[in-house]
Amino acid sequence: MKILLIKDSVGLTHGLHLIAVFGVGLVGHAICVELARAGARCALDVPVNWSTPLSVEDAVCRICEAAHSAAEESVLPLRISVVWAAGSAGFQSPEAAHVLELEHLKAVLSLGERLAHAGPMWARRFFLISSAGGLFEGQSNVGPESIPKPLRAYGSFKLLQENALNSTGGFQTSFVYRPSTIYGHSPKGRLGLVSALLLNGIRRRVSTISGNATTLRDYVLSGDVGRFIAAEILTPGEIKGPCVRFLVSGKPSSILEITRVVEELLCRKLYLSYALMPQNALHNTYSRTAVPHNWRSASIREGIQTVLRNLIS
């Protein structure tokens, strides 16, 4: 968990904005990079042991302490943003892992009431990274009015996380982000399809793909996701009720298309092995009507080029 501070000014009056980011994997890292570019500095980096609730509680206490310190320096009422990009439980994880993750999130959500009591004038906002792929797995042309119908524990618990945020009263404003399949590169992120294909291609190793070459999925670059969320974190103001954002490209790609782009960029053939799993072969596509007006998503070729540059730099 990282605690970042950035100046928050209105006219000639200066304040501080405290941003706590839980989870610094693919998305969390991208958000922190964009916040740093905007001038945020890392005030505290707290390792969190996700196997024990005590470690999460310690992180929550650290945020409270940091908020008190920042409030003393801030002329304007302190602005606090809490970002939940954490979670090691993936598509194939057992239900127990998702249960523990949900409990951790609820512990962090309880922070809102504590902050409200400590600083009634502090602005408190929560940003939750959910998953369109988990909520709408197997659905096609998903739009704003589509109803989540999770097919496995991963999606069911993402929906429970959204519900937990909606039922909490400690934060005045909440944002829920539903990205499709995220690809990219970060020091601590899981190795996804695109990164694995690139690395194995460079090393001339076999890539085992769980699914079908013709399966259509929607892919978004982690840097685009981080840039969009960071911009919303830094934008002041409140909204009524939860704000749900679909972060999708609206232009699905097949695994076959992705492997061909990787081969073209590496100038070599890939060694591929397919493990056919029926559930992983389902199409999942999205309508462009689902995306926010100011959301910009790189094409799949541009995105893969970006990941390759990051891998070899």
Report the domain count for the chain: 1
Global pTM reads: 0.95
CATH number at residue 107: 3.40.50.720
Overall residue count recorded for the chain in this entry: 313
Phi, psi angles (nearest 5°) of residue 142 = -65, 135
Rounded mean pLDDT, 180-198: 88
Question: Does some domain include residue 201?
Answer: no
Per residue in 151-162, pLDDT (tens digit) is 999 999 999 999
pLDDT of 96 strictly over 90:
no
| Token pair for 298 | 């790189």
Calculate the average pLDDT of the chain.
92
Question: Residue 281: pLDDT band by 50, 70, 90 thresholds?
Answer: confident
- 54 belongs to a structural domain: yes
> CB within 8 A of 66, min separation 6: which ones?
3, 18, 20, 43, 44
Phi/psi region, residue 39 (left: phi>0; alpha: psi -120 to 50; beta: rest), is left
pLDDT level of residue 275 (50, 70, 90 thresholds): confident
Mean pLDDT across 38-43: 96
CA-CA distance, 277 to 288, in Å (whole number)?
28
146 within domain boundaries: yes
The CA distance from 285 to 293, in Å, is: 19
Domain-located, residue 210: no
CB 233 within 8 A of CB 175: no
User: What's the pLDDT score for residue 238?
Assistant: 65
Most confident of 178-187, 240-249, 262-271: 262-271
- How is the chain classified by DSSP, letter by letter? -EEEEEEEEETTEEEEEEEEEE--SHHHHHHHHHHHHTT-EEEEE----TT-HHHHHHHHHHHHHHHHHHHHH-SSPPEEEEEE------TT--HHHHHHHHHHHHHHHTHHHHHHHH-TTSEEEEEEE--HHHHSTT-SSB-TTPPP--SSHHHHHHHHHHHHHHH--S-SEEEEEEE-EEE---SSS---HHHHHHHHHHHT-EEEEES-TT-EE-EEEHHHHHHHHHHHHHS----SS-EEEEE--S--EEHHHHHHHHHHHHTS--EEEEE--GGGG----B-GGGS-TT-----HHHHHHHHHHHHH-
State the residue range of the domain holding 154.
2-188+219-249+285-298
Q: CA of 112: how far to CAs of 101, 123, 182, 282, 307, in Å?
A: 18, 10, 29, 39, 36
Summarised one tens digit per residue, pLDDT across range 53-91 is: 789 999 999 999 999 999 998 888 899 999 999 987 888
Asked whether residue 158 is domain-assigned, the answer is: yes
- Give domain status of residue 275, yes or no: no
pLDDT of residue 241: 60
Q: Quick one: average pLDDT of 9-36? A: 89
- Give a yes or no: residue 199 inside a domain: no
Q: Is 120 within a domain?
A: yes
